[in-house]
Amino acid sequence: MKAKKLAAPQVREVLRQIHFAGLLGVRLARLHRDGLTLECSVRENLLNSAGVLHGGVGATLADAAVGVALHYLLGSHRPVTTIEMKINYFRPVSHGKIFARARMMRMGATVCVGRVDITDAHGRLTGAAMVTYMILPRPTA
């Protein structure tokens, strides 16, 4: 039996529970059949000393995109955790918004892999990530 996906308000609630993403201003932009897109506005306090978006913002966005996509597609609030992530940055971003489009490539019983394309407000690819998550056992009462 296929799991029923979470609705957008439920996905936003999952995202609200990622407090660090909240500090960065990460928001749900769109749900897709195979994942979702998160967005983040570029603000001055997120820029590095070179005046471009700090790489940690893109990494956080990619990590959160896959984790929240898992909750969305599993239709549950099962505990999950990142076990590996690789990210490449292709071009700097200094203003506007960035978007992280997560696509789940493999959803196993315990290990799931997602690919994330990070783009700027003009749709230009600014980075890409592969993120591996583990679905943890449900806590026992």
Enumerate domains of the chain plus CATH numbers: 8-135 (3.10.129.10)
pLDDT band for position 2 (50/70/90)? low
Q: CA-CA distance, 100 to 64, in Å (whole number)?
A: 9
CB atoms within 10 A of CB 139: 7
Terminal-to-terminal C-alpha distance of the chain: 26
What letter does residue 76 receive in the DSSP assignment?
S
Give the whole-angstrom CA distance, residue 43 versus residue 48: 11
One-letter amino acid for residue 5 of the chain: K
Residue 1 is predicted with a pLDDT of 46
Is residue 57 helix, strand or coil? helix
Query: Mean of the pLDDT values across residues 35-56?
Result: 97
Q: What pTM does this model have?
A: 0.94
For residue 122, the number of C-alpha atoms closer than 13 Å in the C-beta half-sphere is: 7
Backbone φ, ψ for residue 2 (5° rounding): -80, 140
Side chain identity at residue 73, one-letter code: L
pLDDT tens-digit readout, 57-97:
999 999 999 999 999 999 987 899 999 999 999 999 999 99
